[in-house]
Amino acid sequence: MKKIIKNTLLIFLAIIILEFIVFIFKNYHEVSYKITNEKTFDVEEIYRDGNYYFNVNFENNNISFDYKKSFSKAKKVLKDVLYYEKNDLKCIFPVFKNNEILNILCLKNDNIYTYDYFKDDLEEFVIEIKEKGFDLNVFSDNSSSKRLSSALVYQENILDDTYIYIWKYNGFYSINNKKLSQLNLFSNDIYINDFGINVSKYYVIPDYDEKYEYSKFYVVNMTNNKIKELNLKKNQKITNDYYINGVVDNKIYIFDTDNLLQYRINPKKLKIEQIGNKETGGLFYNGEFERLNIYDFKEQKLIFKENIEIPDSIDKFDEIYVNDENFYYKLDNNFIYYNKILDKKIYLFKMEDVSNINLIDNTLYFIKEDTLYYYDIYHGIKKVITYDELLFNKTNRYTIYKK
């Protein structure tokens, strides 16, 4: 009898261990279920590699979206769907496990839009959602500002683990959601920051006080503003007529057009080395490195190319930005999101006269007039900093590191 009990316990333990192993390595599930509220919604849920993908179907309509969270790999994580209809807009508000929320998503003429595209038409729906107890800061931008010298910073809006530098002619405003400070690097004001570039958490910039030829660079850790100097070899200088070829494997490649020399900078190791000259040629990257005649780099600016395979569904765009299977693009002042797995487009918002667009993870940053903004589907459009100088000079004005 004892032996039977022992064997049963061992089998039970083995089953638990097996289920645990399966759970640890699980990276996919697909499940269908219904949510009945004002209407009946048929939900198709796919979990894949840490993200959720949903198709919500109702009355021959479909709204598809993804959610960047694993919910500990649980199934049936969409718990409720609030519905609103006005004129030709049919809108849903998804509510997930633990009352987590996304954004209002609307159908119009078979296209999917977010709240930020039709916010004036959705005020009643927002009131209804708030009355149900949801904290909807995604639908407003009412955070207070803090003065930082000549700038106003909306510190409450800055996302966690995000470090932002704003060029201010002799250095930077350094801002995150815990600390605001100024980083003064130079004795003289430099109007255009031609050469500053960030690589991972490091910002690399030449010593502009040297004016015509540079013998050193500053390497700044954006998470703590610690500055280190990267000095060239004795009697070696790079002219201010150099340009940046690109960044590969967190290393910066630059070409000095006057001296016909190419350099590679490794900020992490605080190292600069000459890698190209008239005899060896220079390195060009187009998916892989190749050696080209050094005069090719002088005759035209050879900028490293990133091979991006554009899906057939995106037939036109003015600018495009990619993060894994996610594509963000601008077309006729529309900002549109496309996910390869869902093969669906979502119109995020429409805005004119936008410049300096950058995609950091799945957050779009951009400048409009005198203000730096960001947009993501979880927070909507938010101000980051207002600074008068952004009106006049938008060249290389900000950089962002997300930890």
Is residue 24 pLDDT above 60, yes or no? Answer: no
C-alpha closest to that of 384 among 366, 396, 401, 397: 366
Compute the distance between CA of residue 50 and CA of residue 55 in angstroms, rounded to an integer.
17
Compute the Cα dihedral for 266, 272, 275, 276 and give only its sign: positive
C-alpha closest to that of 333 among 314, 346, 352, 319: 352
| pLDDT confidence of residue 38 | 82
Helix (H) or strand (E) holding 5: helix 2-25
Average pLDDT over all residues of the chain = 92
| pLDDT confidence of residue 80 | 96
Q: What SS3 class is residue 234? A: coil
What percent of the chain stands above pLDDT 90?
Answer: 82
DSSP 114-178: EGGGSGGG-HHHHHHHHHTT---GGG------EEETTEEE-GGGSPTTEEEEEE-SSEEEEE-SS
Q: Tell me the pLDDT tens digit for each residue of 46-103.
A: 999 889 999 999 999 999 999 988 788 899 999 999 999 999 999 999 999 988 999 9
What is the value of pTM for the model shown? 0.91
C-alpha pair distances (Å), 363 with each of 141, 280, 358, 382, 402: 16, 41, 8, 11, 10
| pLDDT confidence of residue 98 | 87
Q: Tell me the pLDDT tens digit for each residue of 257-307.
A: 999 999 999 999 999 999 999 999 999 999 899 999 999 999 999 999 888
